Structure 1
Amino acid sequence: MGLFKYEVACEKIRRNLLDCLLQSECYKVENKTPRECMERGQDMPDECKQHRKALYKCKRSQIDTRTRFRGKHDL
C-alpha cells in the first residue's frame, strides 16, 4: 500500500505566480523579492496580475460556503 500525495490547495496557481514573478524585471533587474514585486503591483506584468487574481479566487473559494453547493470550477 503506497502513500497518497495530496496536492495542496491552490499550489499550482501559487507556483505559476511565483514563476512569473521570478521572470519579471522587478526581480531580475531591480533585485527585489517576489513579495516586494507583488506589493508594487503597478510594475507587475499583466500575466502575473492574472495569476495573482486567480490565486485570490482560489483562496476565496476555499472559505466561500457557496462553493459547496456549486462545486469547484476551473479558474
Structure 2
Amino acid sequence: MSYVVMVTVLCALFETVRAGAQPLGEQAATNRLGLSAQESAVIRLLAEGRTDDAITKRLGVFPAPPAGRPPT
C-alpha cells in the first residue's frame, strides 16, 4: 500500500469517527426530534438561506474538509 493511499484511508477514517464524536463525559442535549441545539441552529440558518460560510461564522465552528481530502 502506498503512502498516499494509506494517508487517504486514514483521513477518511478520522473524518468518519470525528463526525460522531462528543467530548468525554458530555451528553449532548437533544430536542424531541433528537437534534442537538447546534444541529437545530444549522437547519434554521439553512432554511433562512444562509451560506455554509455564514453559518460557520455565526456558530463559531469550522467546516469539515470534504470527505477523503486531508485538511489544508
- TM-score w.r.t. length of structure 1: 0.29
Q: Which has the higher contact order (CA 8 A, sep 6+)?
A: 2
